[in-house]
């Protein structure tokens, strides 16, 4: 089992905090973004910061479910750190002239639906679900998106910022997989019954209806920007490899469900994509006004280092 | 003056707050005049002398927040502010001529018991030595301001103020102010600062359960009635006492009343806060009663003022200019207010206390304090404590508890005199049995239901609260059972 001492990890997290004010956002290098890159990068960064923000809200919900004070505190920090990543990514966008004033990047409709679902139902989800989904998002982020970004972007400040973000994400993943294994402890039939009970939860079904099209749309967006699809799939396979390396990890029914889902996502020929891609197309017809204003937790995002 | 030249008083008391003054008053009324009070500050009043921050007030109705033997018909509000409580303490001291007993600016550095003479000696930072047959530790559990353990605390270049050491000369008008802490003092300070500061940010680590506070100005006719008919005030006091006793069933234990109080607190929150996310951030995730339950009707509205914002991100550090939180933002301020409460000594003692044969109380208490009926400790004859281990109230007036402890001390001191003995020392096994029972009962309370609070030590040991009704506590203090004590004669041998 991935043996992580959560208390030591908490100390590490506390001792490695950084702030936007530590970074010189005006230092030279922004000019290295080419005119060709600019529009694609803007779309990419926008998706990226929203994924971070959505992940942040996921950690906020997980903090409520944590069984120990240490884990609760770790998730509270991770909530803040994911928000910091979103803030820092917005600060980079601002540096590259992609944001005006206090505007937020526009979330696509699938992100918007996911935000709505998180706002309404994430606090009601059991830790098993969020604790198994969030690592998948993080590993995709860490293993594919960030690496791609650093290969494409020449601005040294971008590298400096993502070095910090990557260090945080590595700690998140360490804890994520540790918890996934903890969630695989106990009698198998009990774990299975509990999972079957949760699968039928209408709130979860709505969550799947928001999450699955989001993944497909992000995949399409990212591929359009030049990321090789295989990179994303390699990252998702990594989830299966790390999550399934121990008996406890493999016994976690939610790991199995999400791994199987990952296999469907990476197989372009799988029939799974037909209804999901249809949902993506359908979601384009949802008027943004139908969702009402964004929840106020979204308004806490800022690119300003000081307040 | 050498030690042997120092006069031996009947009683020495550490602290001139409610507890110390009340003890002196009742001792005097029972014929014990030779009392010395050592007070580290230049004035009386204890916690109410120090807590003068804007909005400081009591969470207990004023009629119940006074001694039954010295009631105050002049309270102007249902919940008295700190200035009125301070006035009441000053009135007590004048009315019963207590100031003459107090030696001000004397900070006690140690208490030690001499086996042979049966005398307690207090030493002070100022070089005094005071000796007495009995000693009363009435320094109060909430007397030493506590600062949070945040990296970089000392780096902040702006003004810092602790709630228990307020700077009344500082003008908050037009200033950017950060308040750290949303406990009992935080919820009282924030509404006041929100009226003055240009920008107010309130840093919350854990939300507390908050019940509405029905504060109102008392009509003049009521004051007149109470002045002319003290029995009427006593009747109101008794009614309030019983009302608070009934709430104990919901605060101390997990009962349907607990659920009802949680529902009331949530309804209060829903009524005052419309934003879903803010409401979520203000909703506690522990059982009501596990930490101190707060009373406020103006904290939630204050947080929603245009100039005010609640910040729930964890604090990473304090910089020269402000507070850095986990989401990577530096919140810059002119002034930081620490509403972070007090260091509560639930293990150890505020100064070294040496008992029989040089045993040291802090050592014995390092894993958690314990005493007999919270007032005596075996091996420390004639040493009495007010708000000693496990005497904390969670639902009723602290003064009710103090009063029963004072009466017990009076019994102890007068018993020494009437029996002509040197000392009373509670038996070790009696104390152990008492604590076994207490801890067994505490295990079933909300305080021990899993949250972190200042009631518990790091190991989760509860040395702070009394697991029962105030009337139960008062009943156990009503009688001083001599069979629970070793009676030390003049020669020091047990009788």
Question: How would DSSP label each residue in A74-94?
Answer: HHHHHHHHHHHHHHHHHHHHH
Contacts A–B by Cβ distance under 8 A: 71
Question: In sequence order, what are the residues at sequence separation of 6 or more whose Cβ sits closer than 8 angstroms to the Cβ of residue B451?
Answer: B286, B287, B290, B291
Please determine, looking at this structure, whether the domain spanning B3-144+343-488 carries the CATH number 3.30.460.80: no
Rounded percentage of chain A residues whose pLDDT exceeds 90: 43
Of the candidates A146, A134, A211, the residue with the CA atom closest to the CA atom of residue A173: A134
pLDDT at residue B494 above 60? no
Cβ neighbours of B354 (radius 10 Å): 20
Q: β-strands B335-338, B176-180: how paired?
A: parallel
Structure tokens at B410: 């009076």
Cβ separation B327–A88 shorter than 8 A = no
Q: How far apart are CA B197 and CA B334, in angstroms?
A: 10
How much is the average pLDDT of A273-302?
88
Kindly report the nearest CA distance between residue A150 and chain B, in angstroms: 21
Cβ separation B317–A17 shorter than 8 A = yes
Look-up of token digits 């002196």: B24
Cβ separation A19–B280 shorter than 8 A = no
Cβ separation B277–A80 shorter than 8 A = no
Q: How far apart are CA A13 and CA A23, in angstroms?
A: 19
Cβ separation A77–B314 shorter than 8 A = yes
Kindly report the nearest CA distance between residue A79 and chain B, in angstroms: 8
Q: Which secondary-structure segment (H or E) carries B235?
A: helix B230-251
How much is the average pLDDT of B438-465?
88
Domains of chain A: 7-14+33-300 (1.10.620)
Secondary structure percentages of chain B, helix, strand, coil, to 5: 35, 20, 45
Which CATH number is B153-209+253-338 given? Answer: 3.50.50.60
Cite the beta strand spans of B398-452 per DSSP E.
423-426
Residues of B in contact with A18 (CB under 8 A): 328
Residue of B nearest to A72 (CA): B285
Q: Would you state the pLDDT for residue B3?
A: 58
Of the candidates A278, A271, A207, A268, the residue with the CA atom closest to the CA atom of residue A233: A268
pLDDT in tens, A15-40: 999 999 999 999 999 999 999 889 98
Residues of B in contact with A119 (CB under 8 A): 276-277
Cβ separation A306–B321 shorter than 8 A = yes
Residues of B in contact with A302 (CB under 8 A): 329
Kindly report the nearest CA distance between residue B459 and chain A, in angstroms: 13
pLDDT in tens, B298-353: 999 999 999 999 999 999 999 999 999 999 999 999 999 999 987 766 557 889 99
Question: For residue B159, what are the β-bridge partners?
Answer: B335
Q: How far apart are CA B305 and CA B309, in angstroms?
A: 8
Q: Cβ(A238)–Cβ(A135) under 8 Å?
A: no
Look-up of token digits 């971070």: A52
Chain B residues near any Cβ of chain A (below 8 Å): 201, 275-278, 280, 285, 313-314, 316-317, 319, 321-322, 324-332, 452
Q: How far apart are CA B319 and CA B332, in angstroms?
A: 9
pLDDT at residue B493 above 60? no
Kindly report the nearest CA distance between residue B76 and chain A, in angstroms: 41
DSSP states along B285-317: SS-TTSSPPEE-SSHHHHHTSTTEEEE-SPEEE
pLDDT at residue A62 above 60? yes
pLDDT in tens, A100-153: 888 889 888 888 999 999 999 999 988 888 888 888 888 877 777 888 888 889
Q: Which of B278, B285, B328 sits opposite A87 (nearest CB)?
A: B328
Q: C-alpha distances in angstroms, A220 versus A44, A180, A214, A228?
A: 11, 29, 10, 11
Q: C-alpha distances in angstroms, B420 versus B7, B485, B490, B491?
A: 19, 15, 8, 12
Question: In sequence order, what are the residues at sequence separation of 6 or more whose Cβ sits closer than 8 angstroms to the Cβ of residue B386?
Answer: B19, B20, B23, B136, B137, B138, B140, B375, B402, B405, B406, B409
pLDDT at residue B84 above 70? yes
Q: Determine whether A72 is exposed, middle or buried from the number of CB atoms within 10 Å of its CB (0-12, 13-18, 19+).
A: middle
Q: Which of A64, A81, A307 sits opposite B331 (nearest CB)?
A: A307
Q: How far apart are CA A7 and CA A9, in angstroms?
A: 5
Q: How far apart are CA A99 and CA B495, in angstroms?
A: 86
Residues of A in contact with B329 (CB under 8 A): 19-21, 87, 302, 304-307
Structure tokens at B464: 């702070």
Residue of A nearest to B150 (CA): A14
| Least confident residue range of A9-13, B77-81, B170-174, B490-494 | B490-494
Question: In sequence order, what are the residues at sequence separation of 6 or more whose Cβ sits closer than 8 angstroms to the Cβ of residue B206?
Answer: B182, B284, B291
Kindly report the nearest CA distance between residue B327 and chain A, in angstroms: 4
Give this complex's ipTM.
Answer: 0.92
pLDDT-based confidence at residue B491 (cuts at 50, 70, 90): very low
Structure tokens at B457: 């030590």
pLDDT in tens, B367-387: 889 999 999 999 999 999 999
pLDDT in tens, B468-484: 999 999 999 999 999 99
| Least confident residue range of A219-228, B32-41, B120-129 | A219-228
pLDDT at residue A1 above 60? no
If DSSP codes are grouped into helix, strand and coil, which group holds residue B438? helix
Residues of A in contact with B324 (CB under 8 A): 17, 19, 21
Chain-wide mean pLDDT for chain B?
93
Q: Which of A14, A73, A305 sits opposite B330 (nearest CB)?
A: A305
Q: Cβ(B131)–Cβ(B9) under 8 Å?
A: yes
How much is the average pLDDT of B196-209?
97
How much is the average pLDDT of B183-187?
95
Question: In sequence order, what are the residues at sequence separation of 6 or more whose Cβ sits closer than 8 angstroms to the Cβ of residue A161?
Answer: A23, A88, A89, A91, A92
Q: How far apart are CA A97 and CA A93, in angstroms?
A: 6
Question: In sequence order, what are the residues at sequence separation of 6 or more whose Cβ sits closer than 8 angstroms to the Cβ of residue A193?
Answer: none
Structure tokens at A87: 């803030």
Residues of B in contact with A300 (CB under 8 A): 327
How much is the average pLDDT of B396-412?
95
How much is the average pLDDT of B418-442?
95
- Residue range(s) occupied by CATH 3.50.50.60 in chain B: 3-144+343-488, 153-209+253-338
């Amino acid at each position: 089992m991935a043996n992580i001492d959560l208390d030591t990890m908490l100390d590490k997290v506390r001792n490695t905090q950084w702030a936007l004010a530590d970074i010189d956002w005006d230092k030279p290098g922004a000019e290295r973004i080419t005119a060709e890159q600019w529009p694609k990068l803007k779309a990419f960064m926008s998706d990226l910061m929203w994924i971070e923000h959505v992940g942040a809200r996921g950690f906020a919900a997980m903090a409520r479910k944590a069984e120990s004070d240490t884990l609760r505190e770790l998730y509270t920090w991770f909530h803040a750190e994911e928000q910091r990543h979103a803030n820092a990514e917005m600060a980079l966008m601002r540096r590259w002239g992609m944001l005006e004033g206090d505007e937020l990047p526009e979330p696509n409709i699938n992100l918007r639906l996911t935000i709505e679902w998180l706002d309404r139902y994430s606090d009601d989800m059991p830790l098993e679900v969020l604790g198994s989904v969030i690592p998948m998002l993080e590993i995709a982020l860490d293993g594919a998106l960030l690496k791609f970004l650093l290969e494409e972007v020449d601005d040294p400040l971008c590298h400096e910022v993502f070095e910090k973000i990557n260090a945080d994400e590595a700690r998140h993943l360490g804890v994520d997989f540790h918890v996934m294994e903890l969630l695989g402890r106990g009698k198998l039939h009990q774990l299975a019954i509990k999972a079957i009970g949760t699968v039928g939860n209408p709130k979860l079904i709505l969550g799947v209806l928001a999450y699955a099209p989001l993944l497909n749309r992000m995949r399409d967006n990212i591929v359009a920007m030049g990321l090789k699809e295989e990179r994303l799939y390699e990252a998702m396979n990594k989830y299966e490899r790390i999550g399934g390396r121990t008996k406890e990890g493999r016994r976690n029914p939610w790991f199995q469900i999400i791994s199987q889902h990952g296999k469907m996502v990476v197989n372009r020929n799988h029939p799974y994509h037909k209804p999901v891609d249809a949902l993506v197309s359908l979601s384009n017809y949802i008027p943004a006004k139908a969702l009402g204003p964004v929840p106020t937790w979204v308004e806490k995002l800022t690119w300003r280092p000081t307040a | 003056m050498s030690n042997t030249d120092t006069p031996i008083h009947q009683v020495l008391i550490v602290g001139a707050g409610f507890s110390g003054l009340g003890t002196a008053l009742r001792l005097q009324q029972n014929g014990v005049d030779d009392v010395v009070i050592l007070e580290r500050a230049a004035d009386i009043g204890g916690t109410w002398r120090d807590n003068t921050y804007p909005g400081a007030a009591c969470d207990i109705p004023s009629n119940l927040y006074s001694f039954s033997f010295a009631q105050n018909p002049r309270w102007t509000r249902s919940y008295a502010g700190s200035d009125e409580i301070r006035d009441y303490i000053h009135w007590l001291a004048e009315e019963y001529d207590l100031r003459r007993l107090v030696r001000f600016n004397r900070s006690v550095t140690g208490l030690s018991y001499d086996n042979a003479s049966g005398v307690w000696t207090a030493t002070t930072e100022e070089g005094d030595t005071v000796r007495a047959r009995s000693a009363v530790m009435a320094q109060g559990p909430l007397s030493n301001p506590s600062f949070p353990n945040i990296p970089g605390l000392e780096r902040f270049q702006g003004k810092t103020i602790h709630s228990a050491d307020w700077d009344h000369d500082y003008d908050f008008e037009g200033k950017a102010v950060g308040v750290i802490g949303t406990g009992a003092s935080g919820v009282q300070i924030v509404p006041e600062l929100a009226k003055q500061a240009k920008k107010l940010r309130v840093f919350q680590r854990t939300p507390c359960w908050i019940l509405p506070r029905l504060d109102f100005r008392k009509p003049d006719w009521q004051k007149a009635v109470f002045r002319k008919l003290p029995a009427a005030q006593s009747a109101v006091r008794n009614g309030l006492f019983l009302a608070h006793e009934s709430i104990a069933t919901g605060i101390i234990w997990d009962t349907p009343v607990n659920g009802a109080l949680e529902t009331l607190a949530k309804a209060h929150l829903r009524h005052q806060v419309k934003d879903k996310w803010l409401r979520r951030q203000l909703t506690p995730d522990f059982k009501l009663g596990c930490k101190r339950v707060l009373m406020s009707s103006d904290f939630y509205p204050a947080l929603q003022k245009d100039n005010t914002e609640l910040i729930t991100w964890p604090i990473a550090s304090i910089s020269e200019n402000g507070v850095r939180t986990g989401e990577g933002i530096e919140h810059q301020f002119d002034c930081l207010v620490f509403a972070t409460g007090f260091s509560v000594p639930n293990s150890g003692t505020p100064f070294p206390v040496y008992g029989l044969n040089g045993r040291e109380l802090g050592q014995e208490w390092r894993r958690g304090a314990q005493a007999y009926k919270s007032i005596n400790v075996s091996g420390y004859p004639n040493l009495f404590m007010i708000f000693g281990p496990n005497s904390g109230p969670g639902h009723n007036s602290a003064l009710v508890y103090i009063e029963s402890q004072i009466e017990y001390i009076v019994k102890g001191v007068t018993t020494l005199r009437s029996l002509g003995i040197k000392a009373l020392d509670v038996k070790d096994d009696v104390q152990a049995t008492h604590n076994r029972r207490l801890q067994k009962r505490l295990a079933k309370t909300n305080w021990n239901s899993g949250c972190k609070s200042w009631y518990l030590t790091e190991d989760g040991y509860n040395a702070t609260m009394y697991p029962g009704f105030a009337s139960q506590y008062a009943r156990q203090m009503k009688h001083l059972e001599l069979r629970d004590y070793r009676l030390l004669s003049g020669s020091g041998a047990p009788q």
